[in-house]
Structure 1
């Protein structure tokens, strides 16, 4: 009677026992299909020159795309066996999930047409893939299913029994079909796969061979011991010598002729005496590396008696070039007549057919195929050598001058400190993957012991172009043997300074192996402070006589007697004694009630003008600016010899350099949180900007749950700006009112993270590995002046007494500079098939999902929101990890704006030129989500 049954769920515990193999435990290679749920983040930058002739850098919002799941699997292989009546026969198979996410599979066995009916048949788990049902394993039933993670494979074996009444020449077949349960993940017709197992009844000798490996996973240069078990299950001895042979896979070796290795030996039936691989002996074992470079051996097992069993074991070494995730697949054969098919030529290593042989020779019996998965090793370094990988301070002898595991930079106040933005070794930063598998690395920068940066400093890690920030401070995947260049930019707060010799430590840590870390030192060799001296010229423009030299000094400034109702001009001169051009806001304080004291400009002859001044404008280093302080005491002011002191104060909005001078006047927190990155941007007076940040739980416990709280210490505006903070609980990229952080009930960070909008999976709080986007909105005062800056710091605070891990990043700092030519950069995306032609309305800032092989279309728009022109505008972007640039997709709008954008080596560049107030320019390009080629 023909029978049919289905298998269902196999316990997920299979994932942790031997025989369940994976493509690899570390990051998949850059050209592989990324795993479902992989985050593809991207951010653009733009540089431009504002109306004060200062170069500015602005970053866009981050857009995120999640890799969607696609289904793919294999079931191998079909089998043909010879067997006797009333005998069991085994058919091995391997089921592998080659998709990019977890799926479950059902199995179905159909008894196909034949000349006898099977007495019974069942399917079993074969964890070590030796073609034998595992000891004590129960037959899979119709209530079980097989769940496999991406890249996971499991061995199966169909064990069938022939009926007693079967006669020689009869045959029957079984069809094993695997069906994926999540049909929507597969192309039409691709959610099933079948193998056919056929057995033919013979009399006399029936030879069966099985192959077992000592391990299921192995690293490069590791050793695998294979055991071949062969048996005569028939009723009579073999009439000819049975030849066992194997052609080894190309990623292992048994050859010791070049490099001796005592471990590469073979033994028979448990003997402690190794077999001789040469042909001139009587042990029957003959190994040879053939002229086609393939390694093969034969073993003469003799005329096996009925019921007899033999075991041949041999050890091979995995070659150094074996890559992570690579499969070592091998099948051995028993030839029952000892000749090549259709001839009388004895089998030797030189003439055994390649695996698998293409033949209908019924005397040839294959073993089960055996898979061992190569697991890569992790090793890397970060150093200042563009070509050679070496770790902390182990500088190779003979290295070029300047290569010392330190990157040096000179700094000046008011300018960013940039490390590694050089073309050659010595002062470059490279991360090298010296392991055997693709890996990615988390990067961090912190002050070394004994060094510090001023509060509010912004540290940015940039890609090789020195402009585009990395996302989530991660390198993205680097293939084995590869390297990537990075640049570090440190922006100090307005008044910030550092001492020469200040050292920062940049650390790279393997994502696959957190203990694999390396560091490089970033050293500030020199620092030129900004300096200014506010003085009074008591002489003339032609013959100046300056007094009041020194910080906040009024020494030598004479008292001045005012005539009530009569204005008195007093000279005020600003000397820029620093090393860089600067500008200064000017304020007058201490003016008595009813008096007036105003500052005016001077003409070329030194005469006071009618132009009021509140900012000096740019003064070159070493240069001066001269102004008139016009003071008037009202009519009726009583005469007094007790002076009133009016103070003029100046302060640079760019560097914080300041000075003052007085005029005396008489009358006749393993919890770990990552909150990144710091941002900076520009605004016109009265404008607004939104900065996006990512708050991630990088520890191993849930935050904002189970008594663990996270809340914000919000910034206190200090210069008339308005700062608001939102937590994007629903992930839609929209600043909703209920997501505003405030003191109102339900609006603290902790409460928002426990809100049902964020709690999508029934797990309150910020779970391990979970992230949420935090938006900081900065609105400038309408009275803000060019060069003024706002520093907005948002800090994470856990509950009282709690300590978060040392790897936590608990605050972000956003620096906003006011200028009249202010460029805003916005980034949008659209995920679709690569044949799509997106309309402008299709683009969004919201999260997208894309399948491997689909495209993500990007649109980056730069808009001048100020009231002065922005020149030398350049938009920079980069192709994100796990994607490839779509050739020919780059475009600009308007097509006449600037020069045509280009893509080279993953860097996208658009030289926009000048943007007038209110004008915009748009860069468009597309990337393809990586998809591995199906063999």
Structure 2
């Protein structure tokens, strides 16, 4: 690589530039292992006036792991001589990979406290140690993960004054990245009181139950300790319960010295004491009939502890998840630190009910949401898990069974529905539809919030040839399955009505094959009508439907059996209007319509039954008739498209063409020919792996039988509907001069498959490729190195390379893009463009790290934004080059 002195520009243009490479997507700092890289693009004008586009190689950098840590928060606590303080902190891994952190605490300043400091884990971040086992480091934390710990500080009994404690968390990954908090401890001979809150649950399932749920009772304990040297006068604790907890009246107890004493909810807390301990200290308790409780102790002597317990019920507003609570305290009107945050976790409970009515999470029924199709005599007959229908129907009728699904969980959930036919007639089809009774349910139902319900309908469609019966007992089971944990419930659909004979007649308008009311097919089982068509060409069957029933009716139009994938069917009135229903037909009258069937392109020669059905949308009466479509054989092979390209003297160009088999049979033999070149030479290759280049294993072809295994393993050629890529390689003589042009023709033979088939379409069997000798040729290369300090210039901080490099968040990458004219004529209007890769932005500074351009400005010009760079270099003569050099910074 050549390197010449480059000129420098110290400020970037404010003009916006929209790169043809597209807009890069930028994110926060990339995680370790992320790959950064892209390609540059350049355009130029050759001596023939053609605009040529070239792309560079791709360079990549891999993001390395770096450490990062933060910690909260500083604490300011009072402590008695010989007493203890509990100092909570939270460490966050701010790095881009997994890391753990060593924990150290040390007194600063004069060290007058001489305090003993011990770390304990607080993984649930509630401000209370999780165990009595000391720790010296955190566990391994993922990027962004947090870990809590408690420092237990114990002061010597002879100490006075105050001091600060420096708390540090140090990355184990590199040992240099640290976060620091400062805790201040003040020795106090005054009142010091700590309050600790706990919440324990007596699950409704009994002592063996581990499931915490709505209706369970929570025992809340507020334990206070006077650890100061002076009594805590007029000590007040207030607790505002979370809205998901309801206080249990009469449950408050005070334990001080002796048996627990019940506290009175109803007395005046400002006047009437609730209890007095053995030392003559009084407690005043208050519950405001809402969410707030509080107690006041007249004074708490130094060294005295006590506790107040009460109960609360988890109410029906509590979904699964954490319920937190914190208490506040004060001494004689002065606020002291809050208690720890105690939590109770309501467990996930997944249950579901499917029934004829909605069911609440507590098991009661919501009779405002009831199945509209259930013929049980409610409310005389109790609600149940059976949806019954005793309404008489006709053959082929669709019987609706509306069910109600209720989410009795304490969590939002969605549900999968499963239908099992117990004893409906063979051939009965089942569909689940939504609350509107029509929209098919695809996938899951929901999500439903806890306590919500939704209606779904099972549509059971009887076969059109089901025998009529005067009594029936048909049953199907519907199972509703929780998507979250597989919990399920069953309900039954039961039909006990009559099945009546059909009273509608569908016929072909062709009188020679009108059809038979009792037989969808002719007596020999053949279709009534057979029409022939080509793939893609529609076939029309004129039809007539007669209402032979006693009242007016309308009939839905459909196919009883779906046609193969890709086929289409349309029902049209005689004026061409698309319909799906006949509209109302009076008793004894009839209407005509057309069934238009279109097979897809490429359909092989074959016969396909068209099983046409009409069914009443009111009564379920139905009739069918089976016609047939015969697909003709079609032979058509095409090639695209004409191309025009440039080549230098003695050069090689590759032109890609697509050959498509539009036939509905495979083509395994037929010519693939070239003609028209005189001084130039050419050959046709099959790009078997479709990678756009000629590989060593891909040889010259001249016939479809050269396409090895192209139809199927062991069968050469091209399958019906398939496309292949051909690469036409043309080489020009070294003596060719600029402007010389030759045109080659690639053509496909019209006689195919060993002269047994003939292409019926001669409009797409050849293409022309025009090759023009030009003298200009520009190549584009991209290089990089990592600029760790983001201030290097002109390669002084690293060696440019094309190979993959390693980079850290916050570091920079220096790019060099070089466009070289390797041709024999000038390249005009040379333009180089690039964008900052994902996870990066363009970086500029006061000088060294700005862009560099060659040739120097004003011979070149540069437009640069935060995401892109665009350089114009005008004319580049043969053997010369244009360059742009710039820096991007990796996000942190």
Compute the TM-score of the two structures, normalised by the length of structure 2.
0.42
Which structure: larger Rg?
2
Structure richer in strand, relative to its length: 2
